[in-house]
Amino acid sequence: MALDTLNLLAILGMAVVTYATRVAGLALAGRFDLSPRAQAAFDAIPPAVLIAVIAPSALATGWPETAAAAVTALAATRLPFLAVVAVGVIAVVGLRAVV
């Protein structure tokens, strides 16, 4: 059961910042009034970060990955979560085989 010091440090740091976001409501409840614009920016944080993390593998790896990402996005408009992931993975395997 390996436990790398740097990995442990990263996990503890992630745990601390996540716990802070979860209990922040105890201090902020009742005195937090965002403008609609700030609310929109706040709501946009998860998609902005998720897309920033995967953009290089979707857009800067090769055309099979980019095409598979487009197929996945299309599937995401109509299929449930795990089906979308399955479609994406099958698409990339198929497209790589064609190259």
With H, G, I as helix, E, B as strand and everything else as coil, classify residue 47.
helix
Q: Is 81 helix (H, G, I), strand (E, B) or coil?
A: helix
The nearest distance, CB 25 to another protein, in angstroms, is 2
| 13-52 residues near another protein, rule: CB under 8 A | 13-15, 17-19, 21-26, 28-30, 32, 35-52
* CB neighbour list of residue 79: distance below 8 Å, 6 or more residues apart: 87
Residue with smaller CB distance to another protein, 7 or 63: 7
Residue 11 is a binding residue for another protein (CB under 8 A) = yes
Of positions 67, 68, 98, 99, contacts another protein by CB under 8 A:
68
The C-alpha angle with vertex 71 and arms to 74 and 99, in degrees rounded to 5, equals: 170
Cα angle 26, 29, 32; round to 5 = 130
Residue of 63, 92, 98, 99 interacting with another protein (CB under 8 A): 92
Which CB sits closer to another protein, 37 or 98? 37
